[in-house]
Each structure stands twice: as C-alpha cells, then as structure tokens.
A and B are shown apart, each in its own frame.
Chain A
Amino acid sequence: MSRIKVKLKEQDLNKIQDICKAHGNEPGELINVLQQTQEHFGYLPAEVQEAVANELGLSVAKVYGVVTFYSFFTMIPQGEYPISICTGTACYVRGADNVLQEFKRQLGIEVGETTGDGKFSLNCLRCVGACGLAPVVLVGDKTYGRVAPDGVNDILSEYKDNKE
C-alpha cells in the first residue's frame, strides 16, 4: 500500500519545470518538451518522464507511449562519444551495413546500446546529406567519410586515446 516514489535531483527537476513552462505547460507541446529535455539530459530516463507528465498534466503512460514511438527518443544514456552510422540509401549501397557490423563487433553492443564504460553509444540514422562521402559515420559532431570496416579501429582508437 505504500506510495510509489520517484526521486529527482533538485536542479534536474527545476530544469524540467523551466522547459515545460517555456512551452506554457501545454500537453500539446509534449514532443517539443521531450526533445528539449533529451537535449539537456542526453536521454529520457523514467524519472524525467514522470516529471514531464506531472508538469504537463498528462499520464506517464502517454509520455512513455510517445517516447517509445519515436526512434529519436531514447531511454538509454548516450555514451560520451555517440556514434551514428548513416544507413540511408547511398551509404547503405556503399557498404554501411558492413561498417555497422564492425562497430557492433568491436564495441560488443547492439544498435541503441551504450558500452559498459559509458564511452560509446551506437545508433543508426538516415542520411546526413553528405552522400558524396558515403558511407558516413558521425562521432559526436565530427564526420568521417568513405568509412570501410577496416577503418573502424582507427576511428575508435582516436577516442580511446583521447581520454588517457
């Protein structure tokens, strides 16, 4: 019979409240609110969705429904270096899938997951508008063009070394 509690840090709750307020606490603004919230937190954990629902006067079930419907939203924390592999038509026909398989193999994770050390996360996206460079890989904001499976190791080691 006990109450279910949801815990959030004060500054995080304040941030969510600010974002919601900026959208007039309108339930119809849910997607925009979630987008900005994810931009801030990097992902949308359950507590954050609870708080958003509370502020906008929506059921948490509905917020969760929207988060799971759009592939843009994620409930998994992104790595320090988010890796995005373009699987748009041009990249795909030039071997993006092989590149993706190599990333999965080297990182030991599936698409949508984050490595145990929190360093890398792996995602696919559709067309970054650089088809001339296909296949394209993004790490954070940095773009890599004409990536082949045997170039994956070089890309990853750039970031592994970075930290040390």
Chain B
Amino acid sequence: MEQVQLTIDDKQVEVPQGTTIYKAAKQVGIDIPVLCYMNLEDIGVENKPGGCRVCSVEVEGRKNLAPACATEVFDGMVVKTHTMRVINARRTVVEFILSDHPKDCLTCKKSGNCELQDLAIRLGIREIPGQEYAEMSTYKTDYSPSIVRELDKCIMCRRCEKMCNDFQTVGALYAFNRGFNAAVAPAFEMDLQYSPCTYCGQCVAVCPTGALTEVDHSRDLIDAISDPNTTVIAQTAPAVRAALGEEFGYEPGTLVTGKMVSALRRLGFDYIFDTDFAADLTIVEEGTELLDRLSKYLEGDKEVKLPMLTSCCPAWVRFIEHHFPEMKDVPSSARSPQQMFGSVAKTYFAEQINKKREDVVVVSIMPCLAKKYESQREEFKVEDNPDVDFSVTTRELAHLIKEANFHLKDMEDEDFDRPMGESTGAGVMFGTTGGVIEAATRTAYEMYTGNSLDEHIVFEQLRGFEAIRKATVDFNGTQINIGIAHGLGNARKLLEDIKEGKSEFHAIEIMACPGGCIGGGGQPLHHNDTSILKARQQAIYREDENKPIRKSHENPEIKKLYEEYLGKPMGEKAHHLLHTRYFDLSRKIEIE
C-alpha cells in the first residue's frame, strides 16, 4: 500500500494511505482523546461515527477542525493536536456533553471506571456553562434480569449499537429520537426484556458511561451470607480467575485462582466450589450426547441432528430462541455448567450436608451478564426456588472484596473445598473460545476410540482468536469436523449454513462474547484494549497446563457423583437434573 508522510505536532510520521489521523498519531505516541470512537482491533470492530468531536484537531489549510478518528491522512498533511483553538474546542465539546448529563458521579455505578469522567478530569473541567439551557431527558430507568439502562446517561456514542447490531447481529438496540432526547433503546422504547436482547452484555462492556450497567446482586449476597440459617455456596466460573486480578492492579493474564478462593472464604461463604467441576460434568453429558448422535448418524439415521451445538452460553441459547427458533433442537440439551452446578448442589450436596433445599443458597461468580438471566429462567427452579440464587459478576466480586477491606495481593493461595471444587484442565478451558470443544474432544476421543490421549492432550487446531475456526480431528479413521465461533454474528454465519444444509460440521462450539467468557460482559472493563482478552486466554491455557488431571471424565469427584448418585451419563436422573429444553421466543407477525 502507498505510504504517505505527514507531520503531527512537529513529529514526522509515515503511514499507509487511508490511515486516520488518530491512528497515525498513536503510532508516534500522541494520545488524542476520544469518546465515541472505539476500536476493538482483535475482533475487527471499529466504531467511528465522528459524532462527539472530542478528538478534534487542527489541519493546516483546513478551515474547520477535523475529527482525528474519522479523517484520513494525506501526503504532506500538517496536524496540530494541542493548539489553543483545539483545546478550547475540545473543552467546549465536553462541556456540552456534560450539560445534559446527570451530575451524580458520587453515586454512579460507573464512577471511577467512566470514560466521560476520565475525560472531564483530563481536560480539567471545573464548571459546566450553559447547563441551565440543557434539557435533561426524562427516560425511566429500565431494569431487565441482567442489564440496567439509564438513558439519561447515554451520550449517543453508539458503541452499544455497534456491538449489538454489527458484531452480535442481535438488533435489540438502536439510536432513536433527536437532540436532547436522543438515546439508544430497543424498538418503541420497550423494556429490554421484551426485546430480542440476549443479555450478552457486550453493550455494557463498551459503554463509556453509566448508561448501561449490570443488575447488582451484591447486597442480596451479603444478606444471605449474614443469615446464620443459610448455607451459602460459591461457584466460580473459569474466566473469573483469569481477570479478577486486573481489578487489583495485576497485569492482564495473571491467574489469581488461589487468592480468589481465599477472598471468598474470608467473605464468609460456607463452601467455595468451582464451576469447573460442573464444566467437567457438562463435558461428560455433552460428550455422551455427541457420541450418541454421531453413532446414530454413522449407522445411517437421517433424523439425527448434526452438527450438535454447544449449549453452555446462555446468550447464545437466547439468540437461537429468538432468531433461529426452528433450530432449537440442534443444540445439546445439556444445561450450562452454572445450572448443572446449582442443580447438583441443591440435591446431591444438600443431602450430603443434611440441609433442605430452601436453606442452601447457591451464588455463582460469573464473567457474564446473561448468567443472571439464565439463573432466573423458570425451568431452572423447583417450586419457585432457583437452582442458582444469585449470579454476580467478576466486577461485583471485586467490589465486595474491596468493601470488606481485603486486598487480593495480601491473600494466601487457598484451595477449593471438596467435593464440588475438584476440577480438571478440561473444565477450566470453558473460559475461552475453543475451550469447550477442546475439552469435549478430549473426552469424546477417548470414549470413542478407547485410546488414551495422554501424549497429545492439546488440540492446537482448536485454539486461537480468529472469529470462525474450522478443524478436523481424526478419531481413529473417523474424521470429525469441528467448527468454532465467538461472537453471535459469527455464529449466525454457521447457523445459516446449517439451515441451508451446507454445514460440513459434526460439532460446533459457540460463545457469544469476544474471546469467549474471558471477554464476557461482567469482566473488568477492557476499555477498548482487546490485547487484554488475549492475555486472559493465555492464562486459561496455563491453568489447564497446571492441572494434574486434564480430562473431564477422569475427575474423581465426577466419577463418584455418577457412582453414588446420578447413575449413567444421559441416564434418567442425569436427564432430569442436568438437561433442559429450549423455547421459541421469536416475534411472529400474525394475521388478525
């Protein structure tokens, strides 16, 4: 590509034609402030509506200021990023944005983590002229099972819209109205819970302000812990241990498993268990189901649904229920690890400790917002008592730890309790894209071929960060085609193929979030730096490597669970406790 030379603040830069001023400046270490602009490089998502004008710069020979995020460079261009004119314009822009923005920074959930607040601090905004003329919008706060929307705090950057429409192809959120009343919302401003929203939480993950946040269950959690009559059980999802450290100043990709367990114990949980245990259980059930479908297929059964799709991701499940209801019998019927855990904890384990179901509270620590919604689904309740009582995010856990005057760095490494804290390297792989299918492959391979995998436990072809990955695994002469997608837009492509009968796969893993659960909507905010997600992925791989047992079906506590309680995988009891069904949630236009 043709190179062009330009000058930015007296620095010479050479960049390919078509580069924006913002990117060229970044290359020479000039950090032009942005607000609406978002570049998630590793997943190919760029939002540059050029709307907020915070990144305005002066270009020699151009009358008006140019938005650096959306203006392409040209040969000989001379750019100034901090002249008096630029600084005044930038401050005015931010003052305007603040003029109709709520001034509740002290109590706002996003405080300390808000890009608008950071910008106001960076520019030294001390007063907001003109706020008496600004019209505050009067939208009511919308509470869905997972996501809270405070439209007064929407600054119309439209990053959420980008994620919801372009990356996820969900189409729940879109900008509506104009002027002071402009905001982003579902059609007809309906509550999010009635929209096709999947609760993936990617809108929350990119929202620069407090307009989109998670439903906070940390108070309920403290209540439960304080009640002496209840036994409170924690389960921690694989991806949490790879990200929690970031909230306490650790480098992205630092594993804090032992410290996390220690913190949970000191917070007062009665049992600290691991969702990885349930992930191993999921693999045994899902692997058995896959082999069952495969052998039927190989015997010539044309009715059998292949490829089998994974079903651990609740946002993905809701996506298929909303957008592809005709395919709702394609995913595995296995419940997600969170729900398998809850179901086993409130039966098998409750019996072991002689507790009644109502006296046991199961709390899940998740990287995910959709898990909050999933835990409240009717089919996961027994007489109105949910298998998982509360689901809190990695961010909420970090707050709880800080509130309790702990610092993660001061914590000793401790181990999970038994039995439901025992897990394998396969279980922890659930935290990253490709991990569930790699875990399933380890088990399915050994079950199918009868050979041991010990020498080649890692399936490199399933790993990585590309949006859609394809691999073939040799099951002793039977070639098994595996597909992997992260991001619902990528999943949609694979689904369209299945619908048209073009799919060559036997099994497909889908995770809704970029990078899988490590990039979930409940994780510490990446503030547009997707290299953080890659670091978390490497941490998950390291955790797998560190585990003495790396195949789900070899987890001794899982074996015991089947022997003592469940019977056979996919057996009657397992079916009742560990499997589920899916519903048609689509909007249908009917003739009156």
Verify that A and B bind, or say they do not.
yes
- Sorting the interface of chain A by its residue count into under 10, 10 to 19, 20 to 34 or 35 or more gives 20 to 34
Among residues 54 to 74 in chain A, which have CB atoms less than 8 Å away from a CB atom of chain B?
Answer: 54, 58-65, 68-69
**Complex Cα–Cα for A69 and B591 (A):** 29
B410 beta carbon closer than 8 Å to chain A = no
Chain B's closest residue to A6 (CB) is: B589
Contact of A7 among B186, B586, B592 (CB under 8 A): B592
Contact of B587 among A3, A10, A58, A63 (CB under 8 A): A3
B165 beta carbon closer than 8 Å to chain A = yes
Complex interface: stretch among A43-51, A89-97, A101-109: A43-51
Q: Which residues of A contact B590 (CB under 8 A)?
A: 5-8
Does A62 lie within 8 Å of B171, measured CB to CB? yes
Q: Which residues of A contact B589 (CB under 8 A)?
A: 6-8, 13, 47, 50-51, 54
Q: Which residues of B contact A6 (CB under 8 A)?
A: 587-590
Contact of A13 among B195, B378, B585, B591 (CB under 8 A): B591
Interface string of A1-28 (1 = CB under 8 A from B): 1011111111001000000000000000
Interface residues of A, dominant DSSP:
helix
Q: How far is the CB of B397 from chain A (nearest CB, A)?
A: 30
Complex interface: stretch among B175-183, B238-246, B347-355: B175-183
B187 beta carbon closer than 8 Å to chain A = yes
Q: Which residues of A contact B174 (CB under 8 A)?
A: 59, 61-62, 64-65
Does A1 lie within 8 Å of B583, measured CB to CB? yes
Q: Which residues of B contact A4 (CB under 8 A)?
A: 194, 585, 587-588
Q: How far is the CB of A122 from chain B (nearest CB, A)?
A: 20
B173 beta carbon closer than 8 Å to chain A = yes
Interface string of B565-592 (1 = CB under 8 A from A): 0000000000000000001111111111
Interface string of B438-481 (1 = CB under 8 A from A): 00000000000000000000000000000000000000000000
**Complex Cα–Cα for A7 and B590 (A):** 5
Q: Which residues of A contact B172 (CB under 8 A)?
A: 59, 61
**Complex Cα–Cα for A50 and B188 (A):** 10
Does A3 lie within 8 Å of B378, measured CB to CB? no
Assess A61 versus B194: contact at CB under 8 Å? Given A7-B591, A50-B589: no
**Complex Cα–Cα for A53 and B187 (A):** 11
Q: How far is the CB of B163 from chain A (nearest CB, A)?
A: 13
Q: How far is the CB of A144 from chain B (nearest CB, A)?
A: 30
Q: How far is the CB of A136 from chain B (nearest CB, A)?
A: 25
Chain A's closest residue to B585 (CB) is: A3
Contact of A60 among B178, B187, B378 (CB under 8 A): B187
Assess A62 versus B586: contact at CB under 8 Å? Given A8-B591, A68-B177: no
Q: How far is the CB of B120 from chain A (nearest CB, A)?
A: 28
Does A5 lie within 8 Å of B176, measured CB to CB? no
Q: How far is the CB of B233 from chain A (nearest CB, A)?
A: 27
Does B591 lie within 8 Å of A49, measured CB to CB? no
**Complex Cα–Cα for A64 and B182 (A):** 12
Chain A's closest residue to B584 (CB) is: A3
Q: Which residues of B contact A10 (CB under 8 A)?
A: 591-592
Assess A1 versus B165: contact at CB under 8 Å? Given A9-B591, A49-B187, A61-B186: no
Contact of A3 among B178, B586, B591, B592 (CB under 8 A): B586
Does B588 lie within 8 Å of A61, measured CB to CB? no
**Complex Cα–Cα for A62 and B176 (A):** 8
**Complex Cα–Cα for A69 and B592 (A):** 29
Chain B's closest residue to A75 (CB) is: B188
Instruction: Please name 11 pairs of A and B residues whose Cβ atoms are closer than 8 Å in the assembled complex, sorted by A.
Output: A4-B587, A9-B591, A47-B589, A49-B188, A58-B171, A59-B172, A60-B187, A61-B195, A62-B174, A68-B176, A69-B178
What residues make up the interface of A, taking CB atoms closer than 8 Å to B?
Answer: 1, 3-10, 13, 46-47, 49-51, 53-54, 58-65, 68-69
Report the 10 A-B pairs with minimum CB-CB distance, sorted nearest first.
Answer: A59-B171, A61-B174, A60-B187, A65-B174, A64-B187, A68-B176, A61-B187, A7-B592, A65-B176, A62-B174
What residues make up the interface of B, taking CB atoms closer than 8 Å to A?
Answer: 165, 170-178, 185-188, 194-196, 378, 583-592
